[in-house]
Amino acid sequence: MCAHTPPCPTAEAPDREAARPIAHHPEQGWSLLCNQVLHFEDTGELLPNGTIIAPRRHLAVPVGGAA
């Protein structure tokens, strides 16, 4: 599917987010990658086979702690 050299990682590869975007819609918060993965700005993904990858969110750590 990918005609780039070197080829983009497949949708099943752990580094699938490294594929080139072929459609980018920042106003809607998503990009379609060359490997047919829908990548969302919250780091969630939808794979071509319908598998949902949940967002990888970092928890905010309060500075100084609560009193």
Predicted confidence at residue 15, as pLDDT, reads 94
Instruction: Say if CB 34 and CB 19 are below 8 A apart.
Output: yes
Neighbour count for residue 58 (Cβ, 10 Å): 6
Instruction: Say if CB 30 and CB 45 are below 8 A apart.
Output: no
Per-residue pLDDT of the chain (67 residues; tens, 9 = 90+): 678 888 999 999 999 999 999 999 999 999 999 999 999 999 999 999 999 999 987 656 666 655 5
The closest alpha carbon to 44, from 56, 34, 61, 32, belongs to 56
Predicted confidence at residue 22, as pLDDT, reads 94
Predicted confidence at residue 61, as pLDDT, reads 64
Predicted confidence at residue 26, as pLDDT, reads 94
Residue keyed to tokens 């970092």 = 58
Predicted confidence at residue 58, as pLDDT, reads 66
What is the length of the chain? 67
- Name the strands in the sheet holding 52-53, side by side, starting at the edge strand that comes first in the sequence: 21-25, 30-33, 38-40, 45-46, 52-53
